[in-house]
Structure 1
Amino acid sequence: MNFAPESILRRFCDELKGNDPLVLVLPIASSEPKEAAEDYLRIFTDLGITRVQMLDIREREEANSEATLKLVDDAAGFYFTGGDQLRLTALLGGTKMLLRLKERYTYEEILIGGTSAGASALSTPMIYQGLNDAGFRKGEISITTGLQFMHDVAIDTHFIARGRIVRMAQIIATNPTCMGLGLEEDTAVLVRDGYQLEVIGSGLVTILDGVECTGNNIHEIQPETPFTIRDLRLHFLGEGETYQMPIPPELHL
């Protein structure tokens, strides 16, 4: 599902700061931006947001324009729709828009959310290619740098339904500093201060933590060979559960 349920979007609206906040719907990941944004524009309006607007970027120059930066400065909430996460990083990486958004996210109380590709791109390592049930062999998934709103966290969506736990484990094996965050459909996490998580929605959130793993051979094996990682910690969390990532908050500045 590439559309967030109303209950999660309602919580998004409840967390917005300021009077009459502006919400920007960003269908940048989609090849059909108007269609991707349409339902969000409607539901945010139905939830009482009087100022909601689509901001689409098709060329990198648009992400550097003064008109775009003005909207980024004025908005209190930003919501990335689904699509192709590689489109997000290729179009926004290194632009004035992304830099301004990161500055505001670091120093102001704005809210950034996303669904499917829009959620996956918010992390630091980002999966952009790989079969759902693959990943147990070295090199079966492709990883690049995401938009980096969450440091040392890899986000994957449709996690349980599409059997994506093994491919997330391979990301952690390549660098156990990274934590895996798997989101199931109709499920989200609210992140405060860059490291405190609260689960919302009707499904499960899966957390993979490899910081204290005791064995890992991915640096020794050849491509297309199954990898090993020992003592990988696994958590399944339902609605209302909280989790504090083992990352000092000052590293998120």
Structure 2
Amino acid sequence: MARLSSAPSFRPMFVHVLRVCVALAGLAGLHGAALAEPERVVAEPTAPRAPLPVAKGSLVIIGGGLRGDNADVWQKIVSLAGGKGARIAVFPSASGTPEPVANTIIGYLKKYGADAFAVPVAVRLAGSDYRKAADDTALAEKIRKADGVYFAGGDQSRITKALVREDGTRTAALEAVWDLYRRGGVVAGTSAGAAIMSSTMFHNPRAILAMLRGGVTEGQEIAPGLGFIGDDVFVDQHLLVRGRFARMIPAMLAKNYKMGLGIDEDSAMVINAQREVEVIGYSGALLIDTSQAVWDKSKPDFNVSNVRISYLDRGDRFNIITHSFTPSPDKAGGRLDPARTALRGPVYSNDILGSNAVVQLMERLIDSDQEEAIGIASGNPRSTTPEVCFEFRFTKTPESVGYISSVAEAYSVLNIRLDVRPIDIPRPLYRYR
């Protein structure tokens, strides 16, 4: 499947040719690198999380916007479910139009060899009582006997509303999904279906800048998810195209998560029982590590220092337990030499929350003679009232590592330090005469 470059369009082509030659010559030579092991937690001590569920199954966490021709992702779901003829239960619970959405997904799964069927448990499903359907024993048994499940996109709060009783206990349908997962089945979900994979999910979030200015509130911006990935990893989706990395950090700090994984659109993170992550599809994922972060909660606006951020490109692998990283095969010999950077001059972004801006900045920084890069997040430049803006400072560390592909202008970037602080920018920035 072809991949459009996420690198800046102004990058001279000769730089990439030079990098490819270096990779082919084996000058970088390393086939893997370990992300820095988490050190002492600088933030306030936290209570230990509950033990992770014992499950033999796999997760396919999709960032939304999954195209029907993305064979990498669809085939992976079917393969993990057992291949041709695998029974996959489709939950349209998040959708505002459950029936047509379920039919579309079933069509794609059948195209790639699965025997898929719809699960009629959805808040918006006309002529159906979702509470009764979720506790129907015959339906639950049908789900339990399946080889995989697929959660459609929409509003993730509809999924939890449909599958979790008002007292917080699991319905029969949700217990059946867990039984399938523990037995070795695959649990896949896109967009809202990805958000429910962690034990905390975004619920009714405000805009990113509003969250940075006003904080994250339980029951408003965040709420309990279904927790298939375990209690120690936070998950978000639509990540790069919507700049959502910036909302992950305050949510993670508020709930004491040390690791977050955010996946981009038309892409997926495949996580097996050994907790090994593989990125597949069109784009990549961001790994956010707050284990060494310092957050001053006494200040009115969001601030944090010493977050570590990494970009995992498609084909890359990461182990959640050991924190070891393995680049995609086309990057195996392409580790960048910090002494032989290709770019010169300041690295910055005046809209760090823009589509793919954070990855473009990280790619430029890792291959630059600069040690740090600045990204700005601000509101309406013509506003006549004061607005709090934010500076995102990205800094190379001794553990920072970059890889470049030998066949495409594609990077992996590991262990960049990120500091965020509020700043004042005069308003308006300009006036029309």
TM-score, structure 2 normalization: 0.52
What residue number does 2:154 align with?
83
When the two chains are superposed, the root-mean-square deviation of aligned CA atoms in Å is: 2.1
For residues 31-180 of structure 1, what are the structure 2 equivalents within 5 Å? 31-49=96-114, 51-58=115-122, 59-93=130-164, 94-106=170-182, 108-134=183-209, 135-140=211-216, 142-151=221-230, 152-180=232-260
CA distance in 2, matches of 1:30, 1:199: 26
Amino acid at match of 2:223: T
Does the 8 Å contact 1:132/1:164 carry over to 2? no
Does the 8 Å contact 1:209/1:234 carry over to 2? yes
Instruction: For residue 229 of structure 1, report the CA deviation from its aligned partner.
Output: 2.0
Q: Secondary structure at the match of 1:86?
A: helix
What residue number does 1:232 align with?
307
What residue number does 1:15 align with?
80
Q: Deviations over 1:168-224 (max 9, x none)?
A: 0101221343422111111100001262211001212011111222x1123x34xxx
Gaps of 5+ in 2: 1-62, 123-129, 165-169, 324-433
What residue number does 1:26 align with?
91
Instruction: For residue 165 of structure 1, report the CA deviation from its aligned partner.
Output: 1.4
Residue 211 (str. 1) matches residue 291 (str. 2): yes
Does the 8 Å contact 1:173/1:229 carry over to 2? no
Instruction: For residue 44 of structure 1, report the CA deviation from its aligned partner.
Output: 1.2
Q: Which has the larger radius of gyration?
A: 2
Q: Which has the higher helix share?
A: 1
Instruction: For residue 126 of structure 1, report the CA deviation from its aligned partner.
Output: 0.2
CA distance in 1, matches of 2:177, 2:258: 23
CA distance in 2, matches of 1:189, 1:159: 12
Q: Secondary structure at the match of 1:199?
A: strand
TM-score, structure 1 normalization: 0.87
Instruction: For residue 167 of structure 1, report the CA deviation from its aligned partner.
Output: 0.9
Instruction: Between 81-90 and 62-71, report the one with greater CA deviation.
Output: 62-71
Residue 241 (str. 1) matches residue 327 (str. 2): no
CA distance in 2, matches of 1:100, 1:228: 42
Does the 8 Å contact 2:140/2:176 carry over to 1? yes
Change (3 A) 1:140 1:73: closer
Residue 188 (str. 1) matches residue 268 (str. 2): yes
Does the 8 Å contact 1:125/1:153 carry over to 2? no
Does the 8 Å contact 1:2/1:81 carry over to 2? no
Q: Secondary structure at the match of 1:28?
A: coil
Change (3 A) 1:132 1:244: farther
Name the % identity: 27
Q: Secondary structure at the match of 2:208?
A: coil
Does the 8 Å contact 1:26/1:56 carry over to 2? yes
Instruction: For residue 237 of structure 1, report the CA deviation from its aligned partner.
Output: 0.6
CA distance in 2, matches of 1:177, 1:155: 10
Does the 8 Å contact 2:78/2:86 carry over to 1? no
Instruction: Between 128-137 and 51-60, report the one with greater CA deviation.
Output: 128-137
Paired residues, what number?
241
Instruction: For residue 3 of structure 1, report the CA deviation from its aligned partner.
Output: 4.5
Does the 8 Å contact 1:82/1:117 carry over to 2? yes
Change (3 A) 1:71 1:178: farther
Does the 8 Å contact 2:205/2:222 carry over to 1? no
Instruction: For residue 247 of structure 1, report the CA deviation from its aligned partner.
Output: 8.0
